Amino acid sequence: MEYRKNDIVTLKIEDCGIDGEGIGKADGFTVFVKDAVIGDTVKVKIIKAKKNYGYGRLMEVLTPSPYRVEPKCAFARQCGGCQLQALSYQQQLAFKERKVRGHLERIGGFTHIPMEPIIGMDEPYHYRNKAQFPVGRNKEGKIVTGFYAGRTHTIIDNRDCALGVKQNKEVLDRVISYMEKYGADPYDETTGKGLVRHILIRYGFFTGELMVCLILNGKKLPAEEKLIASLREIPGITSITVNVNKKRTNVILGDELRLLWGQTYITDKIGDVTYRISPLSFYQVNPRQTQKLYAKALEYAQLTGEETVWDLYCGIGTISLFLAQQARFVRGVEIVPAAIGDARENARINGIENVEFFVGKAEEVLPEEYDKNGVYADVIVVDPPRKGCEEKLLETMIQMQPKRIVYVSCDSATLARDLKYLCGKGYEMERVCAVDQFGGTVHVETVTLLTRKA
């Protein structure tokens, strides 16, 4: 049977797509349904139909799945942030494990995958140490903040995200109330007018330190001292800054930072290492799971104290300093100069001297150091952005012939692509472990150990 747009169908959801959408079949016609979970029987309206598959809108859950749970957040279905809140946490973990395995099989072409059990979270809510809240006005003209609805720039008015820390709500309440009282207008994307674009909040899970940064379409706030006085009443407040971004862009942060009160950073810990985090720093958003992730990377690196290690895409030195405790020497590479400044400072405050940091693209610095200075590595640890590694970098890694490569990935599709290349050039996949850093969402981190074939 041929299905068309606006047809109503009843489906049993049998599978889950990589973005968390339910998948069911009607007479051989595959339908992808957002907000449906495996095991549901649902009534669906077809909103887009191709020849053999289509997309449907969930109209009604006729028989709920045994894995269906009540989302903690009332906005889970509208908001673009969480795709899996209606699925029990055990099933979320099973989905993520299948996703990693599926990518390694389909994209990487691997058959025997040495996967260890996924490392889940003890508490899959209130785990994020960072949140960036856009600010705007609703149809009634009231100032609102929250998160964007899925695939839109419409703000859902929600100051108490179930993934964030409880301090977020108090900060947002105080900032919005100050804006209303002193006429600090929210930014309007369509006109480019208005002042306050975003409110960035960071919290140190292990130190209790709190940072508030207002991203402004301008340099100054009216009655700044009133905002400072209000925010200073919140326990743990350590840093109040403004960031200037006057560009018509979706990029949240600008380059200019000005201190309003306190200091420009907060500190936090992962394991025994202390890190300074500024508003511009990249720092893992789930510090409790990051400790487990890094412990797994360290276990895979098998350091004895004799190794020279390269840490590529090192950020503020989070993994480098972790590794330096057990390596002879660690070299970190990162393209963002401010991050390398932070990395050097983090090494200093921890008294770690067996590290060196380079500013630049990993795919340029590594070949240059290898060709020019003959620098080699016993172990390479790589933690690239979502797009994975440049092929030039993978080539240099092969030339350097480290005994082990530990690949930490936030996107299992690009991981599978890169592993296929490395394993075609003399390496073999020895261990793989997924780590859930992002409960309620479809994202998952993966750590892989490659060893050089003898």
d(CA 178, CA 240): 14
Q: Count of residues for the chain?
A: 454
- Do 256 and 244 meet the contact criterion of CB atoms below 8 Å apart? yes
d(CA 106, CA 19): 16
CB-based contacts of 56, cutoff 8 Å, min separation 6: 9, 11, 31, 32, 33, 44, 45, 46, 47
Question: If 0-12 CB within 10 Å is exposed, 13-18 middle and 19+ buried, where does residue 295 land?
Answer: middle
The catalytic position among 161, 410, 423, 433 is 410
Active site residue 389: no
H or E stretch covering 63: strand 53-63
Question: If 0-12 CB within 10 Å is exposed, 13-18 middle and 19+ buried, where does residue 140 land?
Answer: exposed
**Dihedral sign for Cα atoms in the order 179, 184, 185, 189:** negative
- Do 393 and 366 meet the contact criterion of CB atoms below 8 Å apart? yes
Pairing type for strands 329-334 and 308-312 reads parallel
H or E stretch covering 287: helix 287-301
Pairing type for strands 256-262 and 237-244 reads antiparallel
What positions carry a catalytic annotation?
410
